[in-house]
Amino acid sequence: MIVRRYSDIKAQAVEMDGAKDVAKRVLVSEADGAPNFIMRQFIVEPGGYTPYHTHNWEHEIYVLSGRGRVLKHGGFSGIESGSVVFVAPNEEHGFENTGDEPLIFLCSIPK
């Protein structure tokens, strides 16, 4: 078992083309012995966003704090603290902070 504080893990800038003011922490991964999932924390600063993109894997997202919107095929959906988002494999998506404080969410993906 591993127990640690998220703040002990250094946030790294997201280097994806088209991303603006986004950082992430890898909280749990294969390096920790997790055989099935990777848990990440994303921090999207006010005015920041990820580009519209797809992956071959699903995402399960829980918004911890802040306010924003998730870009999806056909429009947007508002998200805020307590929102849960499921992104299916190969579904186009992106995230944007529309608030005045960081948008922080947990995102779990298959390994």
The DSSP secondary structure of 35-80, one letter per residue, reads SSEEEEEEEEEEEEE--SB--SS-EEEEEEE-EEEEEETTEEEEEE
What does the pLDDT profile of the chain (111 residues) look like in tens digits? 999 999 999 999 999 999 999 999 999 999 999 999 999 999 999 999 999 999 999 999 999 999 999 999 889 999 999 999 999 999 999 999 999 999 999 999 999
- Name the class of domain 11-39+46-105: mainly beta
Choose among 62, 51, 66: nearest CA to 18.
51
